[in-house]
Chains A and B, each alone.
Chain A
Amino acid sequence: MYQQVAWIVSIVLIALLAIAFFYVVRHSRREGDGAAVAAATGRWRGRLLWGVTLLCIPVVAYTLTEMPYARQAIANLGAVEVQAKGYQWYWEISQTELPVGKPIEFQVTSADVNHGFAIYDTDMKIVTQTQAMPGVVNVLRHTFEQPGTYKILCLEYCGVAHHSMMTELHVVAQ
């Protein structure tokens, strides 16, 4: 969902910006009252700063409630623990058949360099991710809502075969 939201919001705001530029450039030839334009610029500057501030405060506040780390802090009640370890250039995953609708705790690390542990759904869209770092265990909790074959892709550049570092998870109904 966030992919679409990010795309639409970006395009709309960039379009508004482009309209502002086109408008100003179209009205750049004829000379106007410099003092009046400066005063208007000051007003628009205030509007922009206040407008963006008032828009951003609720957005920041809301999205901070959606952080993935909050879920990591919740006690691991009945989660299926899965160890995932990245190597140049393959994944070693302790269990690849997982239940739908049950929390899964991926304990992600690396044996060599940094890798990215990204879970792609059956439509090849990212559903969640974390980094796989040597000497560090990143705990990623996720509950699969739909059965199917999910893919794990490496999203941190790790050398010449980075792009072939893929494996699958099979999420099945119980």
Chain B
Amino acid sequence: MNMQKEMPAVGAVKVYAAISGVVILLMMVFGLVMRMTQGQMLPIEPNVFYQLMTAHGIGMVAIAGLGGSAVMWHFLGKYVNLRAGFAWANLAFFLTGVVLVLGGIFLGGFAAAWTFLYPLPANGMGQWGKHAAAAYMGGVLLVGVGMLLFYLESARAIIQKYGSFARALGWHFLKSGQDAPPATVIASTVVTLINIIAILIGAVILTMMLVNLYVPEIAIHPLLAKNLIFLFGHVFINSTIYMAVIAVYEILPKYTGRPWNVYKPFVWAWSATCLMVLTVYPHHLLMDYAQPLWMHIMGQIVSYTSSLPVLALTLTATLGSIYRSNIKWDLTSALLVLSIFGWSAGVIPAVIDGTIAVNQVMHNTLWVPGHFHLYLLLGCVTMILAFTNWIANKEKAAGFSGLEKSMLWVFAISAFAYALMFLLSGQASVPRRWAVHLPEWLAYSQIASLFAAGVVISAMAIIVRAMGGIIRPARQA
């Protein structure tokens, strides 16, 4: 039932991976420019800074989604029958949406941050107009529609193969201990379920806000809008990691010779995650005192519990799979192991910030990008880079040149130190999303800029090398 079909990466996956690599690099450059601006090393005006900030935020969320989709599509397609047309349709919606988003930002001046928190998009104070806001939000909506098609197709294919979501989640295995679905199918089913819900919620609030832009009389309660936005945003960005980690489940065993076995706690963990990731988002609203108390308490408790099951199992399984395995180290395997470190490390300050008493002095400081750069830059993006490198090498282990080792270490140290500088700034109460920093905060940004430059240079070397492998036609055997 679970026989895996071995096949090389097909066109859509390669295009996804190539676009992901290029956009990730561009977003890293935006990040460098922003940190240099905060450190007064570049004379960028605040309106441009906030446009870059908006583009960096939505760009990274979208490309993490696209890169994660490439990983999921590629490996899920080995177990279920996915129709390539949906991958191309998703890409068409994605690219159309991106054009609208970029037009709204860089032509229309839209700069309400990627979270488009109501009612800021309609209150640009002369910096942008309602058409620019509509272009941005309409673009995000189109990207979401494409992703929804993608997940509806994966849902169809999973049900066609496994009969129900319950079987694809492995619930029958909990009873019988027989016929466990592959880890990839379990993770893909969870992502499919939670992201269909999240994208629909995102579509609802985006549509409501688009209507409000042109008919302001139809107002939305700001607290309701914030709940909907963060429910959508939190689930979507978490899903990017859950999709990208499939690369670890599928690729790492080829280096270690140890299969990624599915066992009962693994099934429990993913099913629990399905529920918890949908209920943890109130930790983004801990400083909205008008929010019901039970939601605050739920936000803190689920923050502690939601990350633990899947992460703890993936962390221990990763370490266990490489310990005394005679693993073949190359850039792909090294990036995969690094990504699990980044994800695990990032969860620590994230959970701490989910503590209400801590959030009271950390909320919206640079502590927040500190933790999410650990698990997105050093976690999710690193998983996507590993996957890109894997398909660039025709899905085989490769050599590990001195240059590659150097670039890997520069990337690992720079990305880690870059995130730590955010955390250090956060504990010093430096606010996030400030174009102009006070004199006493400049040193943090200046030092961080050095590490950001290290990230850009090393990632460029890794991505350019992978692009060459992806674009180069496959050699005939």
Contacts and interface: CB of A to CB of B under 8 A. Distances in A.
Interface of A: 2-7, 9-10, 13-14, 17-18, 20-21, 24-25, 27-34, 37-38, 40-41, 44-45, 48-49, 52-53, 56, 59-60, 63-64, 66-69, 72, 88, 112-114, 116, 118, 120, 124-131, 133-140, 153-164
A30 B372 CA distance: 35
A72 B289 contact: yes
Contact of A32 (B46, B222, B293, B324): B324
B319 A2 contact: no
A68 B356 contact: yes
A2 B258 contact: no
Interface stretch (B141-149, B240-248, B422-430): B422-430
Interface string B99-126: 0000000000001110001011001110
A35 to B, nearest CB: 10
- For the complex of A and B, list the 8 residue pairs with the smallest distance between their C-beta atoms, beginning with the closest: A41-B320, A32-B324, A31-B326, A66-B357, A155-B364, A7-B427, A45-B316, A163-B434
A13 B348 contact: yes
A32 B329 CA distance: 17
Interface of B: 46-47, 50, 111-113, 117, 119-120, 123-125, 127, 221-223, 226, 258, 265, 287-290, 293, 296-297, 300-301, 304, 308-309, 312-313, 315-317, 319-327, 329, 337, 341, 344-345, 348-349, 352-353, 355-358, 360-365, 367, 423-424, 426-429, 431-438, 440
B323 A45 contact: no
User: Of residues A2, A124, A127, which shows the largest number of chain B Cβ atoms within 10 Å of its Cβ?
Assistant: A2
A160 B322 contact: no
A33 B325 CA distance: 9
A127 to B, nearest CB: 7
11 contacts: A28-B327, A32-B325, A41-B317, A52-B308, A53-B308, A60-B301, A63-B355, A88-B123, A131-B289, A163-B434, A163-B437
Nearest to B219: A135
Nearest to B441: A124
A2 B360 contact: yes
Contacts of B123: 88, 112-113, 159
Given A45-B313, A67-B296, A68-B289, A28 B323 contact: yes
A39 to B, nearest CB: 10
A53 to B, nearest CB: 8
User: Of residues A31, A38, A49, A156, which shows the largest number of chain B Cβ atoms within 10 Å of its Cβ?
Assistant: A156
Contacts of B326: 28-31
Contact of A63 (B226, B357, B428): B357
A138 B288 contact: yes
A15 B222 CA distance: 41
B337 A156 contact: no
Contact of B119 (A17, A21, A134): A134
B222 A133 contact: yes
Nearest to A36: B324
Given A10-B349, A44-B319, A129-B363, 20 more contacts: A2-B362, A3-B362, A3-B426, A10-B348, A10-B423, A13-B348, A17-B348, A18-B341, A28-B327, A33-B324, A37-B320, A41-B323, A44-B320, A45-B316, A113-B119, A136-B288, A155-B432, A157-B117, A160-B111, A162-B434
